[in-house]
């Protein structure tokens, strides 16, 4: 019985030290480990352009027959520590945006279906933009979506997403400084 109890404690402690497992967050393996979905004429492809290299490229190009409409979404479910841990999951990513001919597009990041970041862009960015967001430790689904806002038949837009990470950070428990004498006096 004592061995079974020790094994149970060991398994619980092992579950508590699990770390984040965003797979292929650098996109070095293309889009492997990511779920993908596109609508209308939006596309989602691996790209050699990144920070420093490789990324996922969300884009849509207009043509004589249509405007660059549609959405492209990347999804991944991953564990960020244990749901039993008292802490928070620190997640981050970087993105860039480019367009031509007055195209505008939106990037949205959702964690477990809840929006944690949204930005509209109608001007080219000169560098990758870092974004951080948090949730409780445990199992999460991350969704990154790029979508058309406005443009014409000659316009196009692209987002590049790179360096998607997550790690479970323990909560700090505040401690009060005190001497042994003051602690004994408090409980007398």
The continuous run of DSSP H or E covering 107 comes out as: strand 104-111
**What pLDDT digit, counting tens, does each position of 30-44 carry?**
999 999 998 888 888
**What pLDDT digit, counting tens, does each position of 89-139 carry?**
999 999 999 888 888 889 999 999 999 999 999 888 889 999 999 999 999
User: Distance between CA atoms of 25 and 164, rounded to whole angstroms?
Assistant: 4
List the chain domain ranges.
17-167
Q: What are phi and psi of 139, to 5 degrees?
A: -85, 135
The continuous run of DSSP H or E covering 6 comes out as: helix 2-16
Q: Which of 65, 138, 137, 51 is nearest to 95 (CA)?
A: 51
CATH number of 17-167: 2.60.120.260
First to last CA, the chain: 39
Does the pTM surpass 0.75? The reply is yes
User: Distance between CA atoms of 56 and 157, rounded to whole angstroms?
Assistant: 14
């Amino acid at each position: 019985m004592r061995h079974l109890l020790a094994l149970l404690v060991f398994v619980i402690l092992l579950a508590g030290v699990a770390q984040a497992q965003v797979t292929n967050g650098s996109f070095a393996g293309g889009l492997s480990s990511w779920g993908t979905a596109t609508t209308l004429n939006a596309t989602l492809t691996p790209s050699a352009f990144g920070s420093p290299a490789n990324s996922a490229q969300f884009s849509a190009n207009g043509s004589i027959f249509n405007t660059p409409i549609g959405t492209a979404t990347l999804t991944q479910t991953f564990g960020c520590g244990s749901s039993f841990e008292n802490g928070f999951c620190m997640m981050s990513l970087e993105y860039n945006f480019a367009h031509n001919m007055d195209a505008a597009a939106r990037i949205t990041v959702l964690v477990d279906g809840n929006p944690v970041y949204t930005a509209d862009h109608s001007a080219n960015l000169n560098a990758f933009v870092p974004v951080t967001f948090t949730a409780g430790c445990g199992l999460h689904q991350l969704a990154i979506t790029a979508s058309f806002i406005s443009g014409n038949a000659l316009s196009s837009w692209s987002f590049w997403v790179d360096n998607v990470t997550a790690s479970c950070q323990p909560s700090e428990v505040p401690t009060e400084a005190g001497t042994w004498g003051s602690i004994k006096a408090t409980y007398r």
